[in-house]
Amino acid sequence: MKKLFLLFLLIMGVMILTGCTFIEPSSILSYDLPGFFSGIWHGLVAPYTLIVRWFADIYMYAVPNSGWFYDFGFLLGMVFSLPIGWLAAIISVVLLMLG
């Protein structure tokens, strides 16, 4: 029962994270362009967005954006997305083994 509950929490967490990845091009105004921190966030959730993109018409990369500063944030987010994902997986496995 506990394993089923943890699996449910994992699935809900992934769904919540992928819900944060939706970007509508019409909702971005010229004075509110995505910058460095938006780039980091979009880079962090990019692997999950790629999976969701198979099922929904969403965008992985914000266009228009603030230029190279957004690109640098996106690149940093992409670089750190896999280690953060691995860390989350390791923690969840350890918690499953302890519980």
Maximum Cα–Cα distance for the chain, whole Å?
Answer: 50
pLDDT at 87: 80
> What's the pTM?
0.55
Cα–Cα distance for residue pair 27/24, rounded to 1 Å: 5
For residue range 11-20, what is the model confidence (pLDDT) as tens digits? 877 777 766 6
What's the alpha-carbon Rg for the chain, to the nearest Å?
Answer: 16
- Are 42 and 34 in contact by the 8 Å Cβ rule? The answer is yes
Burial class (CB in 10 A: 0-12, 13-18, 19+), 42: buried
Domain ranges (residues) in the chain: 39-99
